Amino acid sequence: MQQKNEHTTSNNSSVSEFLLLEFSDDREMQLLHFLLFLLWYLAIAAGNLLIICAVILDHHLHTPMYFFLMNLAIQDLGSVSVIVPKSIANSLLNTRHISFSGCVAQVLFFVVFSASDFALLTVMAYDRYVAICDPLQYEMVMNRQACIEMVACVWLTGLVYAILHTICTFATPFCSNVVNQFFCEIPQLLKLTCSDSYLIEMGVLGVSIIIGLGCFIFIIVTYVHIFTAVLRIPSVQGRQKAFSTCLPHLIVFSMLVFAGIFVYISPSNTSSNLGLAFTVTYSMVPPMMNPVIYSMRNREIKNAVSKLIRF
């Protein structure tokens, strides 16, 4: 085992690198983690890349819903690509190190993709609301320009939000470089700070949680209207189709919200295994589930993917 160059001091120290969570000291367990995370990452990458290519290449899928799904796939692929390959490489090479600049990049890009993913799921709920509750106005409300503007706002919001978080997180000095997580996660980094200036970032996190809960409430209210409208559909098949489209969206969004909130507000003495489980739940499960529940159960997407594979 290589020497672990840990820094833990009582004064304000500069940190040139961080040490990420080591899943095990046992080499066989490290290789098992490498294999499991590699297979998980490849499955996520394959599923989301298929959706992106199918939507781009099949003109039948050039509609608002699939435009949003393509962006969701880009965000999901981006978020796991920022954090998982480094963890895989560390397990394979028997190291824990990540450079300071690498840690900054992880925080910035992970928050960009995660925040924009969160915002896009909210937009998609509104899209389903218009499609089901006001279908006659759908083409006018969700026209091409409106969809592009919505997605542009989603990405811009994620970028601004990520820059703000990154600046607030790394503006404070660190007294330790040992991150108790498999990537540079903001709550774990804040536990390493030396001064009270981290309270600024805690304030930003508090506002973020309030905004997140606001989006969650908006989605819940939206789906109450959607389900009310669905129950009025005379066709049983029509009701089943509407429910199968909306319920998975609500389940994944709920998982993302509650697992993320737990990680960000959990006390410092929370079990590391429990924290790891919730982090994996909000960071790696939705990117795996989204291609399945949003797309692979959809006949048009399945047909487009089949054509793509045959080609």
What are the residue ranges spanned by the domains of the chain?
17-310
Q: Is the pLDDT of residue 197 over 70?
A: no
Identify the helix (H) or strand (E) that includes residue 175: strand 174-176
Whether 283 and 79 have beta carbons less than 8 Å apart is answered as: yes
Residue 188: closest CA among 270, 84, 86, 286: 270
User: What is the percentage of the chain residues whose pLDDT exceeds 70?
Assistant: 89
CATH number assigned to the domain covering 17-310: 1.20.1070.10
Q: What sections of 171-284 are H helices per DSSP?
A: 186-190, 198-231, 236-265, 272-283
- The arithmetic mean of pLDDT across residues 69-81, rounded, is 95
Q: Which tokens belong to 58?
A: 């099949």
Whether 68 and 298 have beta carbons less than 8 Å apart is answered as: no
User: Residue 4: pLDDT band by 50, 70, 90 thresholds?
Assistant: very low
Least confident of 53-62, 92-101, 153-162, 242-251: 242-251
Diameter of the chain measured on Cα atoms: 70
Q: What pLDDT does 190 receive?
A: 84
Burial 109-140 (b: 16+ CB within 10 A, else e): bbbbbbbbbbbbbbbbbebbbbbbeeeeeeee
Q: What pLDDT does 45 receive?
A: 95
Q: What is the mean pLDDT of the chain?
A: 84
The single-letter DSSP state of residue 63 is S
Least confident of 33-37, 70-74, 188-192: 188-192
Give how far Cα 128 sits from Cα of 124, 134, 234, Å: 6, 10, 19
User: Residue 10: pLDDT band by 50, 70, 90 thresholds?
Assistant: very low
Residue 248: closest CA among 212, 277, 210, 291: 291
Q: Which residue type is seen at 106?
A: Q
